[in-house]
Structure 1
Amino acid sequence: MLNELFTPSVQHALDIVGIFVFAISGALLAVRKNFDVFGIAVLAEVTALGGGIFRDVMIGAVPPAAFTDLGYFLTPLIAAGLVFFLHPHVERIQVGVNVFDAAGLGLFCVAGTVKAYEYGLGLTSSAALGLATAVGGGVLRDVLANEVPSLLRWDRDLYAVPAIVGAVMVVLCIRFETLNAYTSGAAALAAFVLRLLAMRFHWRAPRAWNRRSARAEENAAVI
């Protein structure tokens, strides 16, 4: 189904771009955490490939594409090398990196959902794995860096929600037999635009209703 949207060569190129920008975000976090060159490379690889590897293992597409395509494996290392030597300059174009990251989010949530469905999963499970494909690498990155995963933090702009929207649009198209090049592209575009809007206007998910303030919680803990 997804192959109708792009030719294999174009699809591969888009995958590489998505992997590259995800790897940049992982490598930048490693620099901020004062990791050495090995740590930077590991965080870049995990961020870029973690979600796709998890999806492929869960659906039985083994060995995962990350281990059968040398380009997938080498791209994060190139990103790690650029950040290692040029991280002050990369930090300056963080806005541009975020835009490409949003594009990768949209592409990967759609690609992950379609691939899971093509391997026989139901609609709900396919959407869940589409989400995991898009955000799984970021979760692993934050865990390895000893941070609360970004998609669980209330003070971060919406990240998982755009991926959920894209994945749900795909499974609805599958359900009503309307998935094609245009609807796949629309789902990826919706996730991309929603993520950009969340970054622009700092949209965040609501917290628990009538929750106590952080100060009240701290006082209660002291007592």
Structure 2
Amino acid sequence: MARHARDHHADIFIPAVILMVIAAFTVGDIVRPAATSGLSETAMVARHTATTQAVAGIAATGARAQTAQTLAATADRLKATPVPTVDWHAPSETKAYPSITAHPKLRIEVSIAAQRVYLYDGSRLLYTMFASTGTDNSTPKGHYKIEAERGDYFYNPNERLGAHYYTSFHQHGTYLFHTVPTDAKGHYIASEAAKLGKAPGSHGCVRLTIPDAKWLMEHVKTGTAVHIY
């Protein structure tokens, strides 16, 4: 409550000061006509310029103060926005996955900034999936297509990580959509799964919830367009 009161008073104070400055110079011209009438044109222009600069300076200060207040308010709102809790055992949305038959031109958009996978048909957004892309910008940006390589499980001994339900989109088995990772014993790693929708975590692949990865592997056709940005 106190913060709002101060902001309101600041909004009133800044225009009031500008008016006071203008009034001071204007009244001076009225009550001292003899002084001003004796000024040369150059001196009068200089005086007018000084007045304009003074008012502009106060206005700029007010604009900066208002901008700072706006940025602070935006930061407060972002801090107050809850980070979604992702159930990586469940689909990202409660509605059904889109029908491939009904949407033969379906395409996949991957937003690294948002950590989301979007399924589109034209300009229509059909479904949104939580994702976790590669750390250190290791997920390649660009336009790709779903490739033939896909399967139920893989394990990479060099990384000591595996995953279920993989589908290749670049370099034929190198860059994949797949589930959150598993350890050497095939157990899902909860700490890595917690990054879904929040932060990058992979070596370049796009991680998804278990049902999302399974649906994509089973239904999305080879040749489907993929755009990563």
Class of the TM-score when normalised by the shorter of the 2 chains: under 0.3
Higher share in helix: 1
Highest RCO, 1 vs 2 (Cα 8 Å, sep ≥ 6) = 1
Higher strand share: 2
